Amino acid sequence: MSALPPSVSETSPSETSPLVGTAHGTVRGTREGGVAVFRGIPYAAPPVGARRFAAPEPPEPWEGVRDAVAFGPTAPKRPYAPPLDRLLPDPDVPGDDCLNLNVWTPSPDAAGLPVLVWIHGGSLLHGSSTVPLYDGAAFARDGVVFVSLNYRLGIEGFGVFPDAPANRGLLDQIAALTWVRDNIAAFGGDPELVTVCGESAGAIGIAALLAAPRAQGLFRRAVLQSGAPNALPLDDAARRTTELIARRLGVAATAGALAEVDRERLLDAQTEVTSGGSPLTGGNSFQIVVDGDLLPRDPLEALLDGASADVDLLMGANTEEYRLWFVPSGLTEKLSRVGLRLALLKFRVPRETERAYRANRPDAAPGELLGALATDLLLRVPLNRVADARAGAPGSTRLYEFGWPSPVLGLGACHALEIGFVLDNLDKPDAVALTGPDAPQELADAMHTAWVRFAATGDPGWPVWDESRPVMGFGPGTPAVVRAPRDDELRGWAPYRRRKG
């Protein structure tokens, strides 16, 4: 047992300070609005020194009682570049012990409650569990134990090296889910009733976990919000961003060499190399890789071939995902017809597919047309393919689409807009930054209730996926099921439908 860290004390509990014993020591939380909250609990040792580019290791046990009332350190990162920084706040908490998690629970004295584990997005470069939008009180209020976590980002989490394991950020997520399996019963949760839920890069990570043999059995259900299965082969393209950063720093592209580099210098170089890109327009970025160890094969192909067929799956996207990047940057207005044609050639979009989208959007600017095509190519098409492959599987599959348009800056139904509705946190400042002050609470009630039901029972309240292709549409207007929405457009992509047998 280690000496008491600064956050550990020997004082006695009180009514407002619930105590919970974990596998590594006792933690003291706080009561807020009728739920118990525990913040900054370490699930792995600090990734510093020899651990900086290594697989996560268990945390050192502690004696006495460790205070868990404040968010722990966030993974090393830089804020979003303007203008996204005004729309996506990204708090930074300094410190080395960044592999930590938070728990909101109705009561530690409860038993057998469903558990939802939230994995944040941020292009594997940004984000943390500290973001106010990710507060889990609403889920705890409604009988679900909510867990949010940090994982390593950027080059420390997803750089590709010859002398370190790949996908370290994913390994961190598995370590956190292992902690949940071993400890969540002490917080009132059922370790056999875990739903893992993520948005954007968080959803892409969950898709990889669905294909990772090492993650099997750690969760029963999964939610993919605005993220589809995606990974790179372990080749030169996967190493490119790491090598560019190392070259800028004048060191070898190895974990050993970069471990000697000051963290701020490393973040500076990382920012310079990755600036200017986006998930839709490309650029230097970090990706999950098929490493032959944690990920033996491409996650999309694994899911199409039946991986995690027993896991209940809820997946979906927002109608105008692209507008989060295209509108603030002005690309919706700046893109010319020539630029559109070059982009369509780059993405190998069939002419007949382009014509179908154009016919349904006769007044769309070139940037809007490109955005609609890119949204479907990267999200709706692969999610529909996965749903088709899972039809009739032991685990249920359901799809949704979020379509409520934000009036802020003309963002429409853009990427990340649905989070405040799902988590029932429309009053948070970072939710208001995207939705404006008058977002419909009744839509949040509907989405949040569906996610609570899914975590508890596996049924969010609409039909499972079948040949009729039911999709629950959340806005605009009253939520309703639509059969095969815009199927005339999606049929133009090959392959779109994958038949079994």
| Catalytic residue positions, numbered | 200, 321, 415
- The dihedral through the CA atoms of 267, 298, 224, 404 has a sign that is positive
Q: What is the residue-wise DSSP string for 141-154? A: HTT-EEEEE----H
- The dihedral through the CA atoms of 386, 392, 397, 402 has a sign that is positive
Choose among 184, 179, 177: nearest CA to 206. 177
Sheet hosting strand 189-199, strand order edge to edge:
30-32, 35-42, 100-105, 145-149, 113-119, 189-199, 221-225, 312-318, 397-402, 470-474, 480-483
Q: What share of the chain is helix, strand, coil (3-state, %, to 5)?
A: 35, 20, 45
Q: Cβ neighbours of residue 138 under 8 Å, at least 6 residues apart?
A: 423, 424, 425, 448
Cα–Cα distance for residue pair 196/117, rounded to 1 Å: 5
User: Do residues 205 and 173 lie in contact, with contact meaning Cβ atoms separated by under 8 Å?
Assistant: yes
User: Do residues 316 and 401 lie in contact, with contact meaning Cβ atoms separated by under 8 Å?
Assistant: yes
Cα–Cα distance for residue pair 124/82, rounded to 1 Å: 18
Q: What is the residue-wise DSSP string for 207-271? A: HHHHH-GGGTTS-SEEEEES-----EESSHHHHHHHHHHHHHHTS-SSHHHHTTS-HHHHHHHHH
| Cβ neighbours, 10 Å, residue 411 | 22
Residue 33 falls in which region: left (phi positive, over 0), alpha (psi -120 to 50) or beta:
left
Q: What is the DSSP code (8-state) at residue 61?
A: P
- Output the six-digit token pair for 488: 């005339």
- Output the six-digit token pair for 395: 């685990």
Choose among 186, 187, 184, 188: nearest CA to 218. 184
